[in-house]
Structure 1
Amino acid sequence: MVLVALVSSAQMRKVQNKPYIDLRPLHFGISLGLNLMDAEFTNVGTQVLEEGMTRTIACDVDNWNPGFSVGVVGDMRLSDNFNLRVSPTMHFGSRRLTFLDFDNLNDAGLPVHSTQDLKSSYMAVPVDLKFSAPRFNNYRPYVVAGVSPIINLAGKDQEYVRLKRFDSMINVGMGCDFYLRFFKLIPEIKFCYGLTNALDNNHVNDLDDVNKRPFATSINDCRTKMFLFTLYFE
């Protein structure tokens, strides 16, 4: 019994790395991560073209292509459990869009499909409120929520779909601070959802190919979505 008590006591008295880092009013770091970009489209359904003909085209994201993210982070201590975090980040990724043309069928009787690789380069500036549990030895779990204005730095004029330059997202996530000898390592997962319609509805007027216009007008709303896995080094 004495031996068990000694072992248990030794486990509880593990030496803490960086014991005062969370008492700093402000500290900085860098971030590296992976992202999965998605989009939620609202399709128009059957549309009437200028020639009086009807056309039914549906669009969806059929494939997630992993991208990468890199940024910096600034963390301000508000209290023992709350921190305000600002983390300007560049996100590079793409989505593969598939358009199903229900008025054109192939030999198997299925709608003919067209695809677009919608590449995006986002400059995001998330402002998050971080709520952390009490530290236990060398780890400390937390949850985080906030908003993120973003700037879309990519976009081609002659594709079916083009996104607006500016958008904003709401962020929710969770992670854990791991206190290493020389720094904190913080793995985090986060989900981001667009607050506004990211679709550039005026893009159809810039298309030189009139055959692409029914595809561009087949959507009237697009909400940006992203899944993020990030490693912070503070």
Structure 2
Amino acid sequence: MKKYFLIVLLLTSVQPINAQFFGGNGVLNNENVDLQRLSWGYFLGFNTYDFDFDYIEVSDRSFLKKDFPVDRTIGFNVGLIGNLRLSNHLDLRLEPGVSFNRINFMVTKADPDTFREINSTYVHIPLLLKFSTQRLNNFKPFVVGGLSTSWNLSSNENNPEDNSDGQFRMTTNSYYYELGFGIDFYLYYFKFSPSIRGVFAINDELIRDEDPNSIYTGNVSKMSSRGIFLNFTFQ
């Protein structure tokens, strides 16, 4: 009896949600919210980063020929949104925010001294185009894409010490392209939009060690960060 009671309870609770968001005759929440020329909001979310390494082809096999093993961790995002309506299905968005993350990797497992824990704080500024479908009752899918830049406040770019002193260095400024998708849910008081987005660095972010034969940087032709953002937007 308890099992059947729980099933009935779930069905009765899900039915109003289905009617509100997917039913053809549901009441439209915030019916005119998308007609505003300018609108504002904020977002909270999570991220995970790693590095993409490209290597120089040399005959010296003492250099590492495969990617360093990278341990992804979960970081945090927070920021603001400025939205400019261009048409019924197209918006221009500026989303300045701050992201915190950590990347761990070890060049060789045989030597614990090659372990690096890289804690980063980014001021991240994307300029994005948001392409939306027609609104379907109280939800609307969309795709988003564009370019962004960031300042790595923990880059160590100007630190005279390098990996020989335990300091891993990256460029302060980086540039990215971003692609993602999400859904706008129109609630009674606001619009809630979960989305997922891939963020891919364009430039080389690695600052080389003074030693040209460094096991960390000697055979790396390019190192670019890449990440996944899961954001929850409130407008």
Q: Same fold (TM over 0.5)?
A: yes
Instruction: Letter of the 2:138 partner, please give it.
Output: N
Alpha-carbon distance in 1 for matches of 2:50, 2:44: 20
1:14 paired residue among 13, 26, 32 = 26
Alignment of 1:165 onto 2:166: no
* Contact map agreement 1:147 1:170 (CA 8 A) in 2: yes
TM-score (norm 1): 0.80
Structure 1 gap segments, 5+ residues each: 1-7, 49-53, 101-109
The alpha-carbon distance between structure 1 residues 92 and 147, as it changes in their structure 2 partners (threshold 3 A), is same
Structure 2 gap segments, 5+ residues each: 1-18
TM-score (norm 2): 0.80
Q: How many pairs were matched up?
A: 206
Alignment of 1:221 onto 2:222: yes
Alpha-carbon distance in 1 for matches of 2:135, 2:122: 34
Cα shift readout 1:107-162 (whole Å, capped 9, x = no counterpart) = xxx85462101221111110000000000111000000100011111034445331
Alpha-carbon distance in 2 for matches of 1:215, 1:222: 11
Shift of 1:22: 0.1
* Contact map agreement 1:116 1:159 (CA 8 A) in 2: no
* Contact map agreement 1:12 1:137 (CA 8 A) in 2: yes
Q: 1:1-234 alignment to 2 at 5 Å?
A: 11-44=23-56, 55-57=62-64, 59-100=67-108, 112=111, 114-156=114-156, 157=159, 158=161, 160=163, 161-201=168-208, 204-205=209-210, 213-234=214-235
The alpha-carbon distance between structure 1 residues 86 and 61, as it changes in their structure 2 partners (threshold 3 A), is farther
Secondary structure at the counterpart of residue 182 of structure 1: coil
Shift of 1:94: 1.3
The alignment yields a C-alpha RMSD, in angstroms, of 2.5
- Structure 1 range deviating more: 83-92 or 39-48: 39-48
Cα shift readout 1:40-81 (whole Å, capped 9, x = no counterpart) = 012346687xxxxx8424552421010000000001100000
Shift of 1:223: 1.2
The percent of aligned pairs where both chains have the same amino acid is 26
